[in-house]
Amino acid sequence: MSQINIVIFGIGNVGSTLITQITDFNKKTTNRKLNIFCIANSKLALFKDNVASGWSSNFETAAQPYTLDDIYAFAKKLKEQNNHEQEQEFVAVDVTASATFANNYIDLVEHGFHIVTANKVANTLSYDFYKKLRASLTLNKKKFGYETNVGAGLPIIETIKNLYESGEEIHKIRGVFSGSLSYLFNNFSKEDKDFSDILLEADALGLTEPDAREDLSGKDVARKLLILSREIGLAKEFGDVKIQSLVPKELNGKTTLSQFRESVKTLDTIFTESKSKLSKHEVLRHVGELNVKTQELEVKLVQESKFTALGQTQGADAVFEIYTASYGDQPLVIQGAGAGKAVTARGVLSDIIKITQSLN
């Protein structure tokens, strides 16, 4: 069996939770251990044969500035120390929120690393980059795990990929893609509260981004929709997605975060008006929708029947409806927690384990 060596980029909520989950996994399994040989943030890295135990305090005292070349050199050292007694496999895990780190993926692959990522950037850059990355993975015989890009720990990408590769005719994909927006409109539709109050509640619970305009802009949902469209063979770009932003022009990125929070009550009039147009059997839902026949991708706020899968969501759940030729008018529905550090980290760990199993 191969020795699996892991470098983790990103030590925030998801990264630190993942380290704990890997440590627990190693305690429970005797079949194959996962060796974390490096933990890094954007500036510093902690190198050790196994850094999982007591990593946080060790990082504060022993982490050092690094480049990717340092990581490649340490990986080479691990191989040499092994004296070829056991095959060494290397996995780079990206749990950063970086908009630029994905530019390193091809270089990592060329230096012998499989890639697992919770970061959506690589799959939503230009279609040219998308193809180049996959060509490099094929050439270097490396795996790429990114299930958590859509739906956190839910098996959305895997299900859609399997349907598509088996020849299933997919007609439409529709769903509540965002856990934060799910929470906002689930509660706003059923409670007699101002939208701004529910938004502040979601912020306090850590469900929204630090700047809630990131959620309300619809761009994150658009990225997820783009990823799914590419999974079924559509050569789409981010600019092809029609996005209905829920941020008023006067509160867009030109104002500071503090100015936005001071003016958040401005949102109440807008959404109260939308709520007033609902029938007694309708709710507001923020959805992403891909029409495969017309190749249209759209992110929008809709009036939804309470009796559909989307209309019945609770809490911060995500829900996805997949319409295909075989399923007819009754879609395949996948629903569950669509956000959260524990489910996202678990999804990343699952991708790592899938890679190790494929190497047997």
Both tokens assigned to 97: 């929120």
Q: Do the beta carbons of residue 38 and residue 51 sit within 8 Å?
A: yes
Distance CA 177, CA 228 (A): 11
Of residues 60, 92, 62, 63, the one with CA closest to residue 75: 92
Q: What is the DSSP letter of 211?
A: S
SS3 assignment, position 254: coil
CA angle 55, 82, 138 (to 5 degrees): 85
Of residues 171, 186, 120, 145, the one with CA closest to residue 291: 171
Q: Do the beta carbons of residue 314 and residue 185 sit within 8 Å?
A: no
Catalytic pick among 224, 280, 293, 306? 224
Distance CA 221, CA 301 (A): 12
* Active site annotation includes 33: no
H helices of the chain, where? 13-28, 55-62, 68-82, 105-110, 127-139, 156-165, 179-190, 195-204, 213-216, 219-231, 257-262, 266-276, 341-358
* Sign of the dihedral defined by the CA atoms of residues 193, 255, 41, 146, in that order: positive
Residue with tokens 């950063």: 96
Which residues does the annotation mark as catalytic? Answer: 224
